[in-house]
Structure 1
Amino acid sequence: MTASYIPLERYKRKWIFNNHEIPVSEQEKQLIKPLTEKSSMELWNRFISNKSNHSEQFTKGDWGARSNSWKKADTWQTAWDSQDNNLPLLIAEDINWPDETCVYFAYDKYNLIETNWLTFKNNWKCFLFFDDGPLLFSTEQKQVIWFHQSGEFQVGHRG
């Protein structure tokens, strides 16, 4: 599948990457690529769910609805609120992907952003300005992170 993208400057949530309190370098902005709705839907259907449009709607048959998909949990909100830009410790310790690994931050079926692991790690707080159940996954890796609006996250494996 060849993905199609929306220029970041035309992305409806572009402001999250232009926030003066959490600046994103111009070089890294080039690596933050919102997908079109069609490309988002194709990736979501293939790797997340062909039944549910949002992680909060996972149903029987979705790997995300199985309790054994989720191995560990912790909170992200405290790290997000801190002056430190580091990922929450559990994520930093558990996700050992190469920096160039292509990752997708999925807000819902029609709203995915492609970047690489290093760019996500450096700017994770910006991605989480919208925290209503997004998933971070890679097509190259089985691990996935599910961020909850409660300030918690789960690390698991997609099926």
Structure 2
Amino acid sequence: MAYQLLESFSKSWIFKREDPKVEPEDLAQIHLLDEARAASVWRDYISEAHIHPDHFDDNDWAKKNAVAQVKWEPIWESDDPALPELLLDHVAPWGEDTLVFFCCHNELVFEMTWSVFKRTWKAFLFLDNGPVLVAKKKKQAVQFHSSGMASLLSRG
């Protein structure tokens, strides 16, 4: 894998806040893919035709394969550290060590394990303009919207 320093990300402050707190051992496991690898993951998992979620159309699986919607924002704003229950149920097949990608656009993709994402999701959702969370070799996915809703998706 080809990574770049997390500090090179213009919004790396999201991982250094006290609230929500990202523990140093989790931060060490959050990897920012370099642009070439990010583009490859985006193309393979998200879209060959569009470089940003804002550009998705009805031909993109993320736009047409929503199985449900869930509110994430009320829990994000609360002291509850857990993801919404419906979201957790949707991705129940993911194991703690499943490799996940938090895909913001074709040049901005983060890689970590599912267990790390579950503990740090509140920091990631400062980037709520349509990112898609996918897991390697899994069909479940989640797209987070700035409306405070998440689309529970199936990659087919």
- Whether the TM-score (by the shorter chain) exceeds 0.5 is yes
Show the 5 A alignment for 1:89-128.
Answer: 89-96=85-92, 97-128=94-125
- 1:11 Cα deviation after fit: 2.5
The offset of 1:63, in angstroms, is: 1.5
Matches within 5 A, 1:24-63: 24-63=22-61
SS at match of 1:149: coil
Cα separation, 2, equivalents of 1:14 and 1:73: 28
Q: Once the 2 structures are TM-superposed, how far is the Cα of residue 29 of structure 1 from its aligned partner?
A: 0.8
Worse-matched range after superposition: 87-96 or 104-113: 87-96
Aligned length: 155
CA displacement, residues 75-122 of structure 1 (integer Å, 9 cap, x when unaligned) = 100000001111011112221111000000011111000000000000
- Which of 7, 10, 16 lines up with 1:9 in the alignment? 7
Corresponding residue of 1:132: 129
Aligned counterpart, 1:20: 18
Alpha-carbon distance between aligned partners in 2 of 1:152 and 1:65, rounded to the nearest angstrom? 14
Work out the CA distance in 2 between the residues paired with 1:112 and 1:157.
Answer: 19
Runs of at least 5 residues in structure 2 that lack an aligned partner in the other structure: none
CA RMSD of aligned residues (A): 1.1
The one of 70, 82, 86 equivalent to 2:82 is 86
Counterpart pick for 2:150 among 144, 153, 158: 153
Please give the alpha-carbon distance, in whole angstroms, between the structure 2 residues aligned to 1:65 and 1:84.
29
In terms of mean alpha carbon deviation, does 119-128 or 83-92 score higher?
83-92
Q: 1:136, 1:74 → 2: CA distance?
A: 14
Deviation for aligned residue 1:51: 0.6
- Give the share of equivalent positions with the same residue, in percent: 32
- Shift in Å at residue 60 of structure 1? 4.2
What's the secondary structure of 2:69's corresponding residue? strand
Residues in 2 aligned to 1:60 and 1:151: alpha-carbon distance in whole angstroms: 22
Shift of the 101–26 alpha-carbon distance from structure 1 to 2, 3 Å rule, reads same
**TM-score normalised over the length of structure 1:** 0.93
Moved over 6 A (4+): none
